[in-house]
Structure 1
Amino acid sequence: MRILFITRGSPASIFGLVPLATSARNAGHEVLLTSTASMMPVLGTVGLPGVPVTDFTEEYFGSHDRDGGPVAFPEHGARAQSLAAGAWFARLAASTMDRLLQVAADWRPDVVVAGRLDYAGPLLAARIGVPFVRQAVDMGEWDEVDEGAVEELTPELKAAGLTGLPEPELAIEVYPPSLRPARAAPARLMRLRPGSTQGRLERWMYTRPSRPRVCVTPGSRANPEQHLDYVRGLARTVGALDVELVVAVPRALAEALRPELPGARVGWVPLDVLAPTCDLFVHHAGGMTSLLAIDAGVPQLILPEEDATYELARRTADGGAGIAVAREAATPEAIRDACRELLEQPERRARARELSREVAALTPPPGMVPHLEELVR
């Protein structure tokens, strides 16, 4: 069986599909992953074959329309931001369609698997007449994002003979059962321990320190131009507590931050290795980070960057395993108070461990491969 995995243009979107893709390959199936040209080095680090299907980056379409004109992302408003995000990811998907069709002509898949916001997946599957599988890579609720995507993808939907995004033949979700959204559609639940760029490990990365360990991360997209001041301030705020501070950031941002945070461990760290050694994660409502923290049974302080991602933060917080603080309320005092509560209250830690046990009981990625095989049969 040939399985084509379609990802967007960020490391997180790749890491989320790595476990299922690797499981399928280990089961003897042929696997190919597609993404942007800029993500090919990332694909190389996870040991899976990759094909670039657009020379544009994901970030480009967040600020440009299809003709290269400027597009402003809304500063406020969850719905406005969700619709804009859908159009953003749809423009990226549209830019890949010609090359995806060529890839499918050269290497015809039996099934297409795509992440939740990888809109090229259902379009390609419909165009070539093969089953479509949608695998979530986070716990977000994206109905409004889909609305924005459908409007942007009108030409592509028409070319495929569609009036809306086709539903998947198989939907795979990755949330703990107790955090299931009220309006969630039927889906199979899978335990997701996302892949990650690996490297030489140091002993401290996989052992627990004598003091509580707090990991601060702004995600894999963070860069010095946009995030230096923010991460510097957040790290100093959290580092004022009696904790061991790990600031997990991409290399360029780490090089800028390291001289200013002499007491912290700063750099790219495989979070799947680090997570079980942590007592608290402080992050930006990142889908991968949140899932890794839940899997490891670690409480979370979530500081959403956009109004649209507050829902993800709220669900985790309402589940008892974290605290969500909106941007306008994220003062240094509020952040430190929330950290203390999460580190000191046994109820929060116990709830995080309960969620971890829920996740551990879900079907692992190898157990999903037979469902892909059944679709093709």
Structure 2
Amino acid sequence: MKLLFTSLGSHGHTYPLLPLAVAARKAGHEVIFATGEALLPGLRKAGLDTAPVTIDISSGFAAVVGDGPMPPPEDELPGIVAKVFGDALPRLAVEKLKPVLEAEQPDLVVYESGNPGGGFAAKLAGIPAVAHGFGRVSVGDLTDSISKPLVAYAAELGIELASPLMIGDPYIDICPESVQAPDFMAGNERIPLRPVGWNEPGELPGIVDEDEPLVYLTLGTAFGNVDVLKGAIEGLAKLPVNVLVAAGPSVDVDALGGVPPNVHLAAWVPQADLLPHVALVVHHGGSGTTLGTFGAGRPQLVIPQGADQFTNAEAVLAAGVGTRLLPDEFTAEAVYTQAKALLADETIHAAAKRLAEEVASMPSPEDVAAQLPAYAR
């Protein structure tokens, strides 16, 4: 069987699909992964065949903003985001995937849920498809605003959506049922899949092997902010712990300046390998980090910066596995106070352990790969 996986061209939208893609390849299926060129070297290292398609988030913004300022004015941003994800990116996906689907003729398309254009392209080509989530399904004003242009574009293609953001295809869900959005759970064919962290191979820094508890700090690959990282470092460094900071590709490590001796700075760490070694994760609330920490059974302090991170922070709170600091609550002292409490809170540690057990009980990528032929043509 030939499978075509496709995602938006960013780490947070691509990496959640890799465990299933690799499991399908190991099961003997031909697998092609179509996404932005910057992600392709990592996919090839994972043993996958690739197809470059320009459905990068930056291309979507360029299509909407044109020569306008980037980042856009704050009061215009919600409307622009709605157009980017509800119209510009789906159009790019349909345009760029059409020749790939014609050439490859896959038996099944697996499209990342943030890339509904992949589902549209499959439907227009008459190829069965399944959606693949990258985290908890977001609900609220932003989702509602994205759905309006998406519904309009779907109608333009002659496609009727089953719900505002769902085409109606089966949905591979990597979010544990206990923290998934209840409205989504009620109305979709859900294929549970254990969230398995993915990173390129790399060495863990030596600080991991030291005796003191280790706190991991990251703002992910797309939402790095020097001032937020500096404030969090200032707060965490006052604790009797070691602090490992992953600055990510959007922040220059040198911009963080001098740090106390219990703080270690890195541009990148193999996060999936790291999480089992830490006592606390302080992060932005990106889906990959949130779900990875669920699986590792560690408490979380979420400092959301944008996108779906606020609803992920709400899910962490609701599950009783951590706390959050909203932008107007964020100070170095607040980070210190919250982190200190989380490290000592046995109730939160017990809840994190229970959630990790739920994650471990979900079907593995190999289990779900064995189910895929039932959805193919």
Q: TM-score, normalised by structure 2?
A: 0.88
Per-residue displacement from partner, 1:65-101 (whole Å, max 9, x unpaired)?
Answer: 0755558667479xx84x6544322422322322211
Kept in 2: contact 1:63–1:72 (CA 8 A): no
Kept in 2: contact 1:217–1:283 (CA 8 A): yes
* Matching of residue 87 in structure 1 with residue 86 in structure 2: no
Kept in 2: contact 1:136–1:172 (CA 8 A): yes
SS of 1:371 mapped into structure 2: helix
The equivalences for 1:308-327 within 5 A come to 309-327=309-327
Per-residue displacement from partner, 1:324-345 (whole Å, max 9, x unpaired)?
Answer: 2211011222211110111011
Q: Percent identity?
A: 26
* Matching of residue 233 in structure 1 with residue 231 in structure 2: yes
What is the rounded CA distance, in whole Å, between the counterparts of 2:143 and 2:126 in structure 1?
22
Kept in 1: contact 2:236–2:335 (CA 8 A): yes
CA shift, 1:10, in A, is 0.9
Give the equivalent residue in structure 1 for 2:132. Answer: 135
Amino acid at match of 2:90: A
Per-residue displacement from partner, 1:151-194 (whole Å, max 9, x unpaired)?
Answer: 43467534531244663432111222322322123412211113
* Matching of residue 339 in structure 1 with residue 335 in structure 2: no
Kept in 1: contact 2:85–2:146 (CA 8 A): yes
Moved more, 167-176 or 319-328: 167-176
Per-residue displacement from partner, 1:177-236 (whole Å, max 9, x unpaired)?
Answer: 32232212341221111311222x14637x55311111000101255xxx2232122222
What is the rounded CA distance, in whole Å, between the counterparts of 1:73 and 1:119 in structure 2?
24
The equivalences for 1:249-328 within 5 A come to 249-250=247-248, 253-257=251-255, 259-261=257-259, 263=261, 264-267=263-266, 268-306=268-306, 309-328=309-328
Which residue of 122, 125, 132 corresponds with 1:125?
122
Q: 1:319 and 1:202, CA in 2 relative to 1: closer, same or farther beyond 3 A? A: closer
Give the equivalent residue in structure 2 for 1:212. Answer: 213
What is the rounded CA distance, in whole Å, between the counterparts of 1:168 and 1:204 in structure 2?
47
Kept in 2: contact 1:173–1:190 (CA 8 A): yes
What is the rounded CA distance, in whole Å, between the counterparts of 1:52 and 1:355 in structure 2?
37
Moved more, 120-129 or 84-93: 84-93
Which residue of 105, 109, 123 corresponds with 1:108?
105
Q: 1:355 and 1:273, CA in 2 relative to 1: closer, same or farther beyond 3 A? A: same
The equivalences for 1:63-82 within 5 A come to 65=64, 69=68, 75=74, 81=78
Q: 1:143 and 1:332, CA in 2 relative to 1: closer, same or farther beyond 3 A? A: closer
Give the equivalent residue in structure 2 for 1:189. Answer: 192
CA shift, 1:254, in A, is 4.9
Task: List gaps (5 residues or longer) in structure 1.
Answer: none
CA shift, 1:371, in A, is 2.3
Kept in 2: contact 1:174–1:191 (CA 8 A): yes
Q: 1:372 and 1:143, CA in 2 relative to 1: closer, same or farther beyond 3 A? A: farther
SS of 1:34 mapped into structure 2: strand
What is the rounded CA distance, in whole Å, between the counterparts of 1:115 and 1:315 in structure 2?
21
What is the rounded CA distance, in whole Å, between the counterparts of 1:307 and 1:369 in structure 2?
30
Task: List gaps (5 residues or longer) in structure 2.
Answer: none
What is the rounded CA distance, in whole Å, between the counterparts of 2:227 and 2:140 in structure 1?
33
SS of 1:261 mapped into structure 2: coil
Q: TM-score, normalised by structure 1?
A: 0.88
Q: 1:89 and 1:31, CA in 2 relative to 1: closer, same or farther beyond 3 A? A: same
Q: Output the aligned Cα RMSD.
A: 2.7
What is the rounded CA distance, in whole Å, between the counterparts of 1:308 and 1:253 in structure 2?
21
Moved more, 170-179 or 251-260: 251-260
Q: 1:203 and 1:347, CA in 2 relative to 1: closer, same or farther beyond 3 A? A: same
Q: 1:188 and 1:62, CA in 2 relative to 1: closer, same or farther beyond 3 A? A: same
What is the rounded CA distance, in whole Å, between the counterparts of 1:133 and 1:27 in structure 2?
18
CA shift, 1:45, in A, is 4.2
Kept in 1: contact 2:222–2:249 (CA 8 A): no
Amino acid at match of 1:113: V
SS of 2:167 mapped into structure 1: coil
Q: 1:311 and 1:202, CA in 2 relative to 1: closer, same or farther beyond 3 A? A: closer
Q: How many residues align?
A: 368
Give the equivalent residue in structure 1 for 2:246. Answer: 248
Amino acid at match of 1:195: W
Moved more, 117-126 or 306-315: 306-315
Kept in 2: contact 1:46–1:196 (CA 8 A): no
